[in-house]
Structure 1
Amino acid sequence: MRAARRALARRVDGEVRFDAGSRGAYSTDGSNYRQPPLGVVLPHTVDAGAEAVAVCAEYGLPVLSRGGGTSLAGQTTNRAVVIDWSKYCHRLVSVDPEARTCVVEPGIVLDDLNRELAPHKLKFGPKPSTHGQCTIGGMIGNNSCGATAQSYGKTVDNLRRLEILTYDGLRCWTGPTGDDEYERIQAAGGRRAHLYRGLRGLADRHLAEIRRGYPRIPRRVSGYNLDSLLPENGFHVARALAGSEGTLVTVLHAELDLVPVPAAATVLVLGYDDICAAADDVPRLLEHCHPDQLEAIDHRMAQLMREEGAYLESLERLPAGNSWLMLQFTGDSTEETDDKARALLRAVGRREDAPDVALSDDPEREQAMLKAREAGLGVTARPPDDRETWEGWEDSAVPPDRLGDYLRDLKKLFGEFGYQSASLYGHFGQGCVHTRVPFGLRTAEGVADFRRFLHRAADLVQEYGGSLSGEHGDGQARGELLVRMFGERLVGAFAELKHLCDPDGKMNPGKVVHPHRVDENLRLGPLWRPSAEDTHFRYPDDEHEFGRAVLRCVGIGQCRTSTGGVMCPSYRATREEEHSTRGRSRLLFEMLNGHEDSTVTDGWRSTAVRDALDLCLACKGCKSDCPVGVDMATYKAEFLSHHYAGRLRPAAHYSLGWLPVWARLARAAPRAVNALLQAPGVAAVGKRLAGVAGERRLPVFAEESFLDWWRARGTPALEPGDPRTVLLWPDTFSTHFHPNVARSAVRVLEDAGFHVAVPERPVCCGLTWISTGQLGTAKRVLRRTLDTLGPWIAAGTPVVGLEPSCTAVFRADAPELMPEDQDVRRLSEQFLTFSELLVNRAPRDWRPPRAARTALVQTHCHQHAVMKFDADTELMKRAGLHADVLDEGCCGLAGNFGFERGHHDLSMTVGEQGVLPAVRAAGPATYVLADGFSCRTQIEQGGTGRRAMHLAEALALGLDGPAPAEHPEKLGALRPDRRRADAWAVAAVAGAGVAGAVAAAARGVVRGRGD
């Protein structure tokens, strides 16, 4: 192993890793199985990947090619050298628009490929639900399908040629092979001639069994594609190797057939009494139409969506019924697609205006409905009733005309084993059924039942002439069961093909052929013994267990997408598995040390886990964008609290983590502090000592804080209980750095008829302590704040937050830190955003000030994740702001993250992936709105030439009448204190006397004494 590692590092142009962190991040996929790899190679080029295979062959090491790692059958986890093609080998090599073909490298993601093909109005047809993260190489390995297979077939049906590499070094292009080409190959001799001769002999020997033993259904994915070697199928070697899950060859390039992008689409949804009745109607529908998609969801899936608050808008658009079929028709115009849908309705005797029929040709509405169906795996993976569900029988397929009866028998089998809560949905137009089953994979009895169920289910699908897998492949989950579907002779033929291509058995061993048992190598299993630790967060949605929270990740990999939403900014910047939400979840799972071969053995003190979490921006994007609600920001804070317990922390934890203290201290003499920190050299030294990035220009302290302005204003004190009174939350950022935000909010709230009050004693949400994992201090700060707000909480007074991250603390973090505290629960319900208050609680006759402008809007990540943005959108609409709400992800600053030393480059990379270019492209008269202090700071410092405003500031400008059309930053004193200074480094350059004052101030904040 040591020699092989050295050879790989010396000879492979790429990243070669055998460390615990990398091995842990690749230890499992989307399946029930776990096998830590020997090492990981990320080749910079396809040739480098081929060299990695050659080195492994020299040293006899098994090889596993991996793409997106979303496989559900265990085929992308193995004790082998993993070659991850997705980070670097993702080029679209060439496109031939006339021939409608392209050549790609294996690591290119399907959505990225189709974006590059869009100018040619072409796309690759098959579209799995993981289209945002699955790679073409992985799709070839799994013979992926997706909803569009109804129209375009499986991946194998869209392959022209493959460039392959065998373990013993043969590299060549393969495809359909006519007799003349076959003879040329034989005349040339060598390993290729031997391979082709063996393939033809194999097909000839088993010709009858292949023709008779393969089910004639549209969704047969199980087994090797020996049928592609038949003479009537053109002896197509590339298609024979597709779906072999990396057990036969390594794919280096692929030539793909492409299809035109449809100009228009219409979705027709039909309601039924139950899922079996819906399945019964599929053959009748297919007699009268040829839809591009025919999908199904059942009442259980809809129920889970409602309980989880997911895809509610799509659910509202479903017609009457308890289960639904969704048919999509495409064509050259909406008139054509609408006509197809209406023709079907007439043919089956349904009316368009019937309550159980819904018709839509609105593209956005259609995509929302189809995304709801795509979300099936995530929605059903962690039901709110806390019953864990798992893959194992998630994609069986039968003839569509027998689907209804199959579902009835399958439901009976579920009932026999106590699995009645399983949801049924899928690609019903091709007889493919998706489900996740509540297998008991933590106990010996549960695992035994799991094994017995799979054997019974395999026999059932064989009785119906179906396939064990209709989409996700065999891997380990179904490899053992193949003999029940194909019989001994065909499974023996699979073994012959394996030996012919991979005589040493080193390509992804133990999968498909000579497989491990279905109950081996389980991620959990009866021998899983995770450590139990006391935690600060209580994880109320995970039975108060950190380990159960970590298990939320089921490997879907949606954190590896490149566009849309917020999750996961660090992965988008690095394309590194270890820096995805999934990769970090894997390492935290390994840290639980539940297996004898756990890759992380030093628990909370693990440097591997610390390094993986270091580049987590704690943006909370995963809390909302992850289909199963992984909240990596919370897990990171928990880890940091234990990792640094009793130890010296990084300097930034003291300088940035204790920011509220330093800001309050600087309030005594802001001009002096700002002037001191403008002195030559002082700022650089201060930032270095404080652990702050030297590249950062830090915000200055306002000369008059919001609280100083408020007190000077002389607003009469208000008592709790007045129904028109609201309590304005004086967060650190709006108080000490951007006080105009809070002043503007006061003006607008008073214009709306509210009586504004401000806490008389210092309060803090503890955000900066939470984000740096100083959770004991955070809880003390929160308890002090609760004491101060006690009368307002008891009176039910709304508390208005201006800084989204502070609001999110009270809506999410505080209830998880202190779930038993009734005041925390009450406050979480009373704490509102500025927009929520004005939209939902302002007097009905109040109208927002008219802004009458276009606005480019950056949503703060914590707001996206916790509070959502609906109220803001509505308020801007009422105010006449024509808002373009960006869907460009995180700004990259993310609180303290972008200010910490070592994070600046990544922070700017994230910003440049969407937000900053969008701001630069905005017109000069367009408002740039960002309620988050971090977002405004990143926009200002990101070379955009613009300053962003809080929505409260934009509305306050509207109170003054129409604004001039120049840049918004010229509209009055939006930022009265813009002189450059590096104030946050004050603690790092303070003398002993100042340090004493700082300590006193800190004690006051934490313990509630003094100001």
Structure 2
Amino acid sequence: MTVVTLPIPRARKPSEAGGEQPFELSEALREAVRGEVRFDPGSRAVYSTDASNYRQVPIGVVIPRDIDDVVAAVEVCRRYDAPVFSRGGGTSLGGQCTNVAVMLDLAKYVNAVESVDAEHRTAVVQAGIVLDELNKATRPHGLVFGPKPATHDHCTIGGMLGNNSCGSTAQWSGTTAANVRRMEVLTYDGVRMWVGPTSDEEYQRILDEGGRRAEIYRQVHDLRDAYLGQIRTGYPQLPRRISGYNLPDLLPENGFNLARALVGSESTCVTILRAELDLLPEPTHVALLLAGYDDIASAADRVPLVNEHHPYILEGLDNKLIEYERDRRMNTVALHELPPAGAWLMVKLTGESDEEARTRAEELRDALDKDGGLRTHRLLADPEHQAELDSVREAALGATARVPGMADTWPGWEDSAVPPERVGDYLRDLGKLLDEYGYGAASLYGHFGHGCVHTSIPFDLVTAAGIADFRSFVTRAAHLVVTYGGSLSGEHGDGQARGELLPIMYGEDLVRAFGRFKAIFDPAGRMNPGKVIDPNPLDGQLRLGTDYAPPVQRTHFEYPDDGGFAGVPTRCFGVGACRRHDSDAGVMCPSYQVTREEQHSTRGRMRLLFEMMRGETIRDGWRSREVHEALDLCLACKGCKSDCPVSVDMATYKAEFLAHHYTGRIRPRAHYSLGWLPLWARLAAPAPWAANLATHAPGLGRLAKRAAGVDPQRDVPRFAPRRFTDAFRRRGSRGSGKRGRVVLWPDTFSNSFDPGIPAAAVTVLEAAGYRVVVPQDTVCCGLTWISTGQLDIAKRVLRRSLRTLAPMLRDGLPVVGLEPSCTSVLREDAVNLLGAGDLDAVRLRQQTRTLAELLDEDAPDFAPRLPELTGGATQAIVQTHCHQHATLGNQADRRVMERIGLDARVLDSGCCGLAGDFGMTPEHRDVSLACAERVLLPEVRDADPDTLILADGFSCRTQIHEAGTWRRPRHLAEVLAAAVGAQRPGWSATGRQREESRDAPATVERQA
């Protein structure tokens, strides 16, 4: 896909870059690098933390355009004696990806799959390629890169090489290091070379060539020989030994493999440019066995028995994790697959056929049953069900990070590993240690087949006593894991979190060897300093710390789950799920998906809010232009509300920020035009033709759009000749009322621009046995004022609407919303803005339904059928409005569409890109259309003419119709009206024709 390129922010003066020297460095980098060089406060703030407990604001950020840019950037840093490190997805939990250094972000551009050799099962890739993108390129050959971390849809190969990542599939494939053939690396002093296994002949040839490369090889060889005994005996023998440098790969019996020795060195030795990777045939026939036990340690006791059956994947999950996911309403479908138990083993086995895989799973089940202690089990062969269970495990880090009613949990001892046969006993001792420190709420889970145990712990990282306990706990935990012959890290590496603890695991001699190994490649100590070797203290440079004291802010929203707005910025812990790249990336985060800019990811924006609250890098609070710039491209889609593991709600934070940012200031013109749209629609109602003339007449329309701050290339929607509410009030309420009365919410968009939709809804509701009522006075949810941050006005509008609705709400009438964005306000934002003390707002939240929800829950016997076409059932593709995805859900819609005989395919297309006022302004045009072109518009263009296009959102319908397609999307209410045989003249079930729905009030009146 095309990446939208945005203006590059610059440090405005030397002081903003941290002094004269960094400013000179930034200018030198701009001269040498074709990519993007960013030393401005906003960019530095965005990259100040990773997914760890640590925070270090970088000197500056370089986003290289290609590999030559990487080389040029390192050369400039060497000239200025500036420390440097490279970053992939930025999800490291040990603090590897945060430093006071020049950061190289390779993910945006340096991400090519350069070649795939299916015959030899290899691929050559650049360091910034995302794992899922690599596997998308290799899967047509039946091959994949084997290790698969939970972050596979956004972690980069460079990051995996830096940390020696593993994931659940490492049970089958081995670690990242085990799947590397060669790497092209760059040293700080400019040596660029391919490294890999080195025969004696190759080693001698390198020495004969002389130069710095030969010096490196000779010194590494000498180091290996000097510590030969310690290397052979000082490393624990277990499959997940990730801590420390991989010096055993230098042994003669391992081929003196310099590439594998450098994997896991966390950017402390070299910058990785390219890698030649081994590929494996992906298992295609897999069966999943769920085995339930009383507790997690009892489940882990069975790991040796399961490993005898050579599983593809063996995971352990405790009941705390499952309860935390249930509390967060995560993976609700998948959790139904879990049989009742205190803990589970999740085992995947493969075969040459589905039958063989199932047979192997049954044999394992029988063996576990015979062994005793098996409380329950379930065998799943369907790949879709297996994927659902995978999502339970992959969501674990997010699910345990912020649990409602509990203290936040943090990494620090999140991935220790022991020999697989000792996991059960280790878990019992680890559990006792957790209880001793009051950390017993921590969930325990992980890759038990390899002995790797994951947990997030409720450390107190803001008080001196809490931080002392943190240090004491991890030190004792390190001694504990070593007594079991284990590793401090079984997956995430050392960084700052465990670098200080390495002598406990390896002893002083081997740690000195690690230091010598680093010095061979980086004698100046400028590669990611303070990590692994000569590490910063494990309780230093904390993201929070004893000096963290964000100011108490008076806000419009209450943020009860965060303890006020001060707690909002710490909600994001950096897992980076908002950085997904692939075409089925979901809703979050649309602006990142098309810009690939960290500052336009949900995580990047949260980092800026954090730094704004901290007041050091971002010093001007609500007035910050850096924060405004990042939030400007937030589409307020609310995708993060549902897709983010910790339910970040950036749309709400943006509204809050804009409210404060523009206090006492002139706002952008679009805030007065589009932000006040409900008022203009009401004023236009007596003479809509005049308003349409002003916005569509040649010359005059262009001037009107310019004055309103609207994109001149956009066709402003036309006001309907008559509003739905005017027509309905003349008609009066009808219907048998056998199912009772319902309030139809007349949102501005449907009421004034597309009144055929509420007219169709009346037809459907009356046919279903309801008596429809519409508020007598004008009502509005305040959406347009909320999205532009005019929150005082939004509150007044909401309170006025609630006064009108109060009698109906207190009578318990359901309120049916047709426009998803407005319905979302009624369901969620109204209470958040007005407060839970406003009982009418609470009633509105509880009584608001979508049309599909009402029919699905309250009228299950209402089942009109669409007439079938010659080729069978009516086909449809559905664009789900992002607010519906985030706050309302669309399961009821799916069931209702199935009930009426509609064969609907719901697109995984994310946000349409128009998003209310966002796509209507000229400065957002490119991003808006790029969002739509990612999936939605190509799907619409490719759809058969007989396929219905469904889109309940006004923005979605507008974007589809105006962005180069000839199709006019339908609202579900219109299709349901057709199913009851009451479609208006000129309507075609195939969607080929459509009478302008603004004329539809006449239909309502004709029913009188």
TM > 0.5 = yes
The residue aligned with 2:408 is 388
The residue aligned with 1:653 is 671
User: Contact 2:733–2:771 at 8 Å: present in 1 too?
Assistant: no
1:79 aligns with 2:100: yes
Which of 144, 147, 166 in structure 1 is aligned with 2:165?
144
The residue aligned with 1:791 is 807
Q: TM-score, normalised by structure 2?
A: 0.95
1:839 aligns with 2:856: yes
1:972, CA displacement in angstroms? 4.8
Classify 1:967/1:911 alpha carbon distance in 2 versus 1 (closer, same or farther; 3 Å). farther
Classify 1:351/1:477 alpha carbon distance in 2 versus 1 (closer, same or farther; 3 Å). closer
The residue aligned with 1:92 is 113
Give the distance between the partners of 1:95 and 1:74, measured in 2 at CA: 33
User: Contact 1:351–1:357 at 8 Å: present in 2 too?
Assistant: no
Give the distance between the partners of 2:219 and 2:391, measured in 1 at CA: 45
The residue aligned with 1:413 is 433
The residue aligned with 2:572 is 553
The residue aligned with 1:318 is 338
1:260, CA displacement in angstroms? 1.1
Give the distance between the partners of 1:418 and 1:23, measured in 2 at CA: 36
Deviates more, 1:340-349 or 1:789-798: 340-349
AA aligned opposite 2:849: L
Which of 727, 734, 742 in structure 2 is aligned with 1:726?
742
1:672, CA displacement in angstroms? 2.3
SS at match of 2:997: coil
User: Contact 2:294–2:375 at 8 Å: present in 1 too?
Assistant: no
1:973 aligns with 2:995: yes
Aligned Cα RMSD in Å?
1.8
The residue aligned with 1:582 is 603
Classify 1:968/1:661 alpha carbon distance in 2 versus 1 (closer, same or farther; 3 Å). farther
1:386, CA displacement in angstroms? 3.1
AA aligned opposite 1:973: E
Which of 464, 472, 475 in structure 1 is aligned with 2:495?
475
Give the distance between the partners of 1:374 and 1:132, measured in 2 at CA: 11
The residue aligned with 1:860 is 881
User: Contact 2:317–2:344 at 8 Å: present in 1 too?
Assistant: yes
User: Contact 2:693–2:701 at 8 Å: present in 1 too?
Assistant: no
1:124 aligns with 2:131: no
Task: Give deviations 1:759-799, integer Å, cap 9, x for gaps.
Answer: 00000000000000000100000000110001011111000
1:204-283 matches, within 5 Å, as: 204-283=225-304
Give the distance between the partners of 1:172 and 1:745, measured in 2 at CA: 68
1:605 aligns with 2:626: no
Which of 932, 942, 946 in structure 1 is aligned with 2:963?
942
Give the distance between the partners of 1:717 and 1:818, measured in 2 at CA: 34
1:828, CA displacement in angstroms? 0.1
Give the distance between the partners of 1:839 and 1:977, measured in 2 at CA: 29
SS at match of 2:647: coil
1:969, CA displacement in angstroms? 4.0
SS at match of 1:487: helix
Deviates more, 1:524-533 or 1:742-751: 524-533
1:188 aligns with 2:209: yes
The residue aligned with 2:457 is 437
Which of 219, 223, 246 in structure 2 is aligned with 1:202?
223
Give the distance between the partners of 1:434 and 1:302, measured in 2 at CA: 14
Give the distance between the partners of 2:957 and 2:129, measured in 1 at CA: 34
User: Contact 1:615–1:903 at 8 Å: present in 2 too?
Assistant: yes
1:178 aligns with 2:199: yes
1:723, CA displacement in angstroms? 6.1
1:676, CA displacement in angstroms? 3.4
Classify 1:224/1:360 alpha carbon distance in 2 versus 1 (closer, same or farther; 3 Å). same
Give the distance between the partners of 2:127 and 2:989, measured in 1 at CA: 47
Which of 805, 810, 822 in structure 1 is aligned with 2:826?
810
1:905 aligns with 2:926: yes
AA aligned opposite 1:643: H
User: Contact 2:952–2:972 at 8 Å: present in 1 too?
Assistant: yes
User: Contact 1:701–1:977 at 8 Å: present in 2 too?
Assistant: no
Which of 604, 616, 621 in structure 1 is aligned with 2:634?
616
The residue aligned with 1:370 is 390
AA aligned opposite 2:562: D
The residue aligned with 1:689 is 707
The residue aligned with 1:637 is 655
Which of 333, 337, 355 in structure 1 is aligned with 2:357?
337
Task: Give deviations 1:387-439, integer Å, cap 9, x for gaps.
Answer: 11000000000011111111111011011111010000000001000000000
User: Contact 2:695–2:705 at 8 Å: present in 1 too?
Assistant: no
1:592, CA displacement in angstroms? 0.2
AA aligned opposite 1:694: P
User: Contact 1:696–1:904 at 8 Å: present in 2 too?
Assistant: no
Q: Which runs of 5+ in 2 are unaligned?
A: 1-21, 868-872, 1001-1008
Give the distance between the partners of 1:277 and 1:188, measured in 2 at CA: 58
AA aligned opposite 1:856: I
Give the distance between the partners of 2:170 and 2:234, measured in 1 at CA: 23
Classify 1:957/1:240 alpha carbon distance in 2 versus 1 (closer, same or farther; 3 Å). same
The residue aligned with 1:459 is 479
Give the distance between the partners of 2:887 and 2:861, measured in 1 at CA: 29
1:714, CA displacement in angstroms? 3.1
Give the distance between the partners of 2:996 and 2:137, measured in 1 at CA: 42
The residue aligned with 1:830 is 847
AA aligned opposite 1:838: L
The residue aligned with 2:50 is 29
1:353-368 matches, within 5 Å, as: 356-368=376-388
1:683, CA displacement in angstroms? 1.4
Deviates more, 1:689-698 or 1:28-37: 689-698
Classify 1:964/1:453 alpha carbon distance in 2 versus 1 (closer, same or farther; 3 Å). same
Give the distance between the partners of 1:276 and 1:624, measured in 2 at CA: 33
The residue aligned with 1:698 is 716
AA aligned opposite 1:375: A
The percent of aligned pairs where both chains have the same amino acid is 57
User: Contact 1:215–1:466 at 8 Å: present in 2 too?
Assistant: yes
1:355, CA displacement in angstroms? 6.8
Task: Give deviations 1:542-588, integer Å, cap 9, x for gaps.
Answer: 22x11212211010000000233100000000000000000000000
User: Contact 1:717–1:757 at 8 Å: present in 2 too?
Assistant: no
1:880 aligns with 2:910: no
Deviates more, 1:398-407 or 1:335-344: 335-344
Q: Which runs of 5+ in 1 are unaligned?
A: 979-1011
1:695, CA displacement in angstroms? 1.6
AA aligned opposite 1:771: S
The residue aligned with 1:960 is 981
Task: Give deviations 1:942-985, integer Å, cap 9, x for gaps.
Answer: 2121110000001111222899997844445253469xxxxxxx
Give the distance between the partners of 2:770 and 2:201, measured in 1 at CA: 86
Classify 1:206/1:816 alpha carbon distance in 2 versus 1 (closer, same or farther; 3 Å). same
Give the distance between the partners of 2:864 and 2:93, measured in 1 at CA: 51
Give the distance between the partners of 2:738 and 2:387, measured in 1 at CA: 46
AA aligned opposite 2:59: L
Give the distance between the partners of 1:427 and 1:409, measured in 2 at CA: 18
1:118, CA displacement in angstroms? 1.8
Deviates more, 1:329-338 or 1:117-126: 329-338
- 4+ residue segments displaced more than 6 Å: 961-967
User: Contact 2:702–2:712 at 8 Å: present in 1 too?
Assistant: yes
Give the distance between the partners of 2:863 and 2:426, measured in 1 at CA: 58
Give the distance between the partners of 2:366 and 2:987, measured in 1 at CA: 56
1:679, CA displacement in angstroms? 2.3
